[in-house]
Structure 1
Amino acid sequence: MNKTIQYPQAIVTCPHCQNSEIVSSEEGAQHFYRCRSCSAILKPKSGDCCILCSFGNRDCLSSEQNLAA
């Protein structure tokens, strides 16, 4: 049996053009992300591990796991 991992989704909002996109936590756990609307390259804010933690409506999985520990 082949199991597919389902990653939670989050909404990432570009601080430049305010465009919002739905991305999975796997996609969001990146150090760079290009906005599909204005092509701005988003980088995590100082102290954040990824673009989800900086620009998403929820933290990434690793941050949620750290909070639970």
Structure 2
Amino acid sequence: MIMESVIRCPNCGCESTERMPADACQFFYDCKRCGARLKPKDGDCCVFCSYGTVPCPPVQESGGRCR
């Protein structure tokens, strides 16, 4: 299980390595540079599945797609 993902802000391009919660999806993320509040894209369960380099642990564990 990979617990870190690099999340990239679509507004300013800022990239940040973040530790993902092990047992839940993260619905919001505030960019550290521009302050934009990111939400998952339609069809994704969390911000890591939408903007990260690695899907969230629940998706990794299920071996599937976002719920």
TM-score, normalised via structure 2 length: 0.83
Point out where structure 2 has 5 or more consecutive residues left out of the alignment. Answer: none
Structure number with bigger Rg = 1
Moved over 6 A (4+): none
Point out where structure 1 has 5 or more consecutive residues left out of the alignment. Answer: 1-6
Q: Which has the higher helix share?
A: 1
How many residues align? The count is 62
Which residue of structure 2 lines up, in the alignment, with residue 16 of structure 1? 11
CA RMSD, 1 decimal: 2.0
Q: Structure 1: how far apart are the matches of 2:34 and 2:44?
A: 23
Which has the higher relative contact order, 1 or 2, with Cα contacts under 8 A spaced 6 or more apart? 2
